[in-house]
Amino acid sequence: MSIHATMHIVSPSRRDAYFDWLQMLTGLGLVIFMALHTALNLSIIFGAKSLDIVAGALEVLHLDTLAHVFVPILFLVHFVLAARKIPFRVDGQLAIWRDARLLNHRDTWLWIVQTISGMVILILGAIHMWTTITAGAVQAASSVARVQSSGWTMFYLLLIPLVQGHVFIGLYRIGVKWGVITDKMRPKVVKILVITFAGVLILALLALARYATLTI
């Protein structure tokens, strides 16, 4: 080998591989949390009492404390890792926008939706976590009062579709990136995910409607 070939070599590193694992695992961790969190919220559909029972059970298991500590950490780490992929310079943003416009390709559009929803969730989610964590134990009465106080219904009306959309696109993305979803399965999995997404979205909005209209 000639000498000049050894003059400038990027040192091999496993950093990008670990970051990619972590990006996937933090995303998956947040999805699991959101699934439980949505289930908790859905219990309000059956009335204030059922929410209090579910929330009380979580407290006995200390799952609420666990969430108060680990969810903000996951949230932050996931954001920092995912942000490596977001083009923050205008030329990059234009490149992906033009590519999506030109191709008119579903999965490329979905990535843009994921990125934008992610950035909005970063802000809204942080505000939401701050208010709920500082408010202490989850109780139907306090949540109903909060949702019915100024602006919070609109806040959740925006946050719910963004979060659920981000969750389902994220699951799909993990599946195709790591090869869990193969080319043969893709159309079927897309159908299943779309139907589940629609179902969960409707239920979550129903829960919000209950929060917004219950009188306690």
Partner 1 sequence: MARTLTFEIFRYNPAIPEQKPQMQCFTLAETANMTLFIALNRLREEQDPSLVFDFCCRAGICGSCGMVVNGRPRLACQTKTADLPERIILLPLPVFKLVGDLSVDTGVWFRDMYQKTRSWIHTKKAFDSDQEEERMDNAVAEQIYELERCVECGCCIAACGTARMRDDFLGAASLNRIARFALDPRDERTDQDYFEIIGNDYGIFGCMGLLACEDVCPKHLPLQNQLGFLRRKMGITALKQLFRKSSCAS
Q: Are 74 and 30 in contact (CB under 8 A)?
A: yes
* x/- letters, 52..91, toward ligand HEM (CB under 6 A): ---------------xx--x---x--xx--xx-xx-----
27 binds ligand HEM (CB under 6 A): yes
Report the interhelical angle of 152-177 vs 186-213 (nearest 10°). 160
3-class secondary-structure state, position 207? helix
Amino acid (1-letter code) at residue 26: T
Rounded to a whole number of angstroms, the minimum distance from the CB of residue 28 to partner 1 is: 14
* Residue 12, binding choice from partner 1, ligand HEM, none, Cβ under 5 to 8 Å by partner class: partner 1
Return d(Cα 177, Cα 91) in angstroms, integer: 25
44 touches 214 (CB < 8 A): yes
Burial pattern 195-211, b for ≥16 Cβ within 10 A else e, equals eebeebbebbeebbebb
- When CB distances are held under 5 to 8 angstroms depending on the partner's kind, the choice from ligand HEM, partner 1, none that residue 84 binds is partner 1
Residues within the interface to ligand HEM (CB under 6 A): 23-24, 27-28, 30-31, 34, 37, 41, 67-68, 71, 75, 78-79, 82-83, 85-86, 111, 114-115, 118-119, 121-122, 125, 128-129, 132-133, 138, 143, 146-147, 156, 159-160, 163, 166-167, 170-171, 173-174, 177, 204, 207-208, 211
